[in-house]
Amino acid sequence: MSPAMPGVLQDETVLVADPAEGSTLHNKGYFGEPRSGGGVALSLLEAVYLVETQRLAVTADGTTLPLRDLLRRANARVPAFEVRYLVYRDLRQRGYIVKESTPPIDFRVYPRGGGPKATPSRYAVSAISERWVFDLDALEAHVRRAASARKNLLLAVVDEESDVTYYAVRHVNPIGRAGREPGSRDAVAYLIEDRAMVLDEEPAHGLRANGFFGKLVGRRLQLSLLETAHLLRGGWIGVRRSDTNRKVTFAAVRAQARRLQPDFDLCLRVYDDLRGRGIVVKTGFKYGSHFRAYEGDPDRVHARYLVHALPGGHRGAWPEVSRAVRLAHGVKKDLLLAAVGKDDVRYLSLERMRP
């Protein structure tokens, strides 16, 4: 192995003054920024990586700094240095050219064989600790920023054992092929505690055939409270009490549902929106999500998505997101986070990937 190049620590950069050595670093790995007159200025991330790989020796005040001391100084001077460094190191060891970017995007990552001024960057990467808060609004802002620059956004989440997991994130526009209207308006559903029943066989089969609503149990159709509220508000069914046969308003159905399910209004917003997109929506209970979503006939195709409804401004924990992505991947479905805003519902796809 060639002798390590000398570099001098100056505040938050390391200067490699020798023009030939600086040119070698920059040309063979795009490390550092060239200086007028020769040499390169390295960031602390780059310097630590080069010291760790024995390509650089850093001095301060005439004394060589061991890696542990350089790391200690870097952690003291750069916020979240260790998390960012672990991601930088992992990407470099995968063979990528990595350049630091303007927060909240931490890195621009170039394809293997490419580099700055030679090829466009391939990924915009944000380094995250699993201990940090999952902030839905901030994530959406990251996605918009990456999309406006025509980059793929990767979230690099570092766990407590310093392993890095990558998630590709993007806004999606789910569209299905199912009919948006159930056809007949003569069905009557009888409301019981946490669901409703359509007892007349012909309307029951009509709702099932024309919109894949509910589940046929013998000759009757069982509707969830979400389906009941959606159909009642659209004027597609009437609802009556099963014990008194009295008519039930949409407000009464919603009030009963809210008592049983505190996030009912949130879920109904997403349910209505997906149905309006031609998506068939069924419960996602078995998969730990609000919904499973089909682009067509659920008797003929598998659900493409697992959908979890979240209010705008939601803040949570990254391990919860990791579990949801892992489960969706395990059953060969895409995870969608449905961000419910004041006037719309936006869908974020999260997919685990290997860059």
Question: Could you report the per-residue pLDDT of 194-208, keeping only the tens digit for each?
Answer: 999 999 999 998 899
Convert the pLDDT of each residue in 235-264 to its tens digit: 999 999 999 999 999 999 999 999 999 999
Task: Please report, for the domain that includes residue 148, its CATH number.
Answer: 3.40.1350.150
- The last residue of one of the domains, among 77, 98, 129, is 77
Q: Rounded to an integer, what distance in angstroms lies between the CA atom of residue 355 and that of residue 352?
A: 10
Residue showing tokens 């001391």:
69
Query: How many CB atoms lie under 10 A from the CB of residue 36?
Result: 5
pLDDT recorded at residue 180:
60
Same domain, 69 and 141: no
Is 29 domain-assigned?
yes
**Helix, strand, coil tally for the chain in percent (to 5):** 35, 30, 35
Q: Rounded to an integer, what distance in angstroms lies between the CA atom of residue 203 and that of residue 187?
A: 5
Alpha carbon dihedral 320, 321, 322, 328, in 10-degree steps, equals 110
- In sequence order, the β-bridge partners of residue 241 are 191
Would you please indicate which residues are annotated as catalytic (active-site) residues? 294, 302, 333
Is 271 domain-assigned?
yes
Is 239 domain-assigned?
yes
Same domain, 95 and 164: yes
Same domain, 166 and 211: no
Same domain, 316 and 281: yes
Is 182 domain-assigned?
no
pLDDT recorded at residue 209:
86
Same domain, 249 and 274: no
Same domain, 275 and 338: yes
* Residues of the chain falling short of pLDDT 50: none
Is 230 domain-assigned?
yes
Is 249 domain-assigned?
yes
- The last residue of one of the domains, among 77, 95, 125, is 77
Same domain, 88 and 158: yes
- The last residue of one of the domains, among 198, 232, 260, is 260
- In sequence order, the β-bridge partners of residue 187 are 237
Task: Please report, for the domain that includes residue 62, its CATH number.
Answer: 3.40.1170.20
Same domain, 89 and 156: yes
154 CB-near residues (< 8 Å, 6+ apart): 109, 123, 124, 125, 126, 166, 167, 168, 169, 353, 355
Is 168 domain-assigned?
yes
pTM for this entry: 0.90
Structure tokens at 287: 């998969």
Q: State the total domains in the chain.
A: 4
Is 30 domain-assigned?
yes
233 CB-near residues (< 8 Å, 6+ apart): 250
34: domain range?
A: 5-77
Structure tokens at 28: 């063979």
Same domain, 62 and 87: no
Query: How many CB atoms lie under 10 A from the CB of residue 249?
Result: 10
Instruction: Tell me if 333 sits within 8 A of 324, measured CB to CB.
Output: no
Same domain, 313 and 348: yes
Instruction: Tell me if 269 sits within 8 A of 309, measured CB to CB.
Output: yes
Alpha carbon 266 to chain centroid, angstroms: 19
pLDDT recorded at residue 183:
62
